[in-house]
Amino acid sequence: MSWLKDIFSGTTKGAGEAVSATLNGAGDAAIKIRSAFTGEMSPDKKAEIELGLQEIESKILIAQAKIGEAEAKSSNFFISGARPGILWIGALGLFYYFLFMPIFYDLFLKYFDFRLQAINGDELMNLVVAILGLGAYRTFEKSKGVQNNH
């Protein structure tokens, strides 16, 4: 649990510092929002709270970017090669469904008297196509320069 303590105490380096700053900013926003609900608020105060929330949102995005950058620099192939685990599940599923099972099904049955488990290719393809579609959508957004206009 020391890593959790490090994150909340702000003693970590790199991405941990970004997370700590984000959490501190979120705490400040919570105090401002609570004060907003306890009484009347002037337009200046509303603008100040709105600005604070925008700052927190930007800090969160920066923290996510720093975490992504740290993961991309990782020497661990499963982290830097394809960060989302769902990609690895899809890749292994496709390998099993299209390569391993058709090649080794008869061999396993003949020599080991063991049937390889069949998997539903339709569900697997839905997963893989959805992942590829998200990647294509993200690439299209970046090519048009609108990735941050949400």
**Highest-scoring range by mean pLDDT, 9-18, 89-98, 127-136:** 89-98
Cβ-Cβ contacts under 8 Å for 119 (sequence gap 6 or more): 93, 96, 97, 101
Closest CA to 80 of 68, 88, 72: 72
Q: Where are the domains of the chain?
A: 2-75, 84-144
pLDDT at 10 over 50: no
Considering only residues 130 and 24, tell me which one the structure prediction assigns the higher pLDDT.
Answer: 130
pLDDT range class, residue 132, cuts 50, 70, 90: confident
| pTM of the complete model beyond 0.85 | no
C-alpha angle with apex 140: 137 to 144, nearest 5 degrees? 140
Average pLDDT, integer, range 86-113:
88
pLDDT reported for residue 7 = 47
The answer to whether the CB of 28 falls within 8 A of the CB of 55 is no
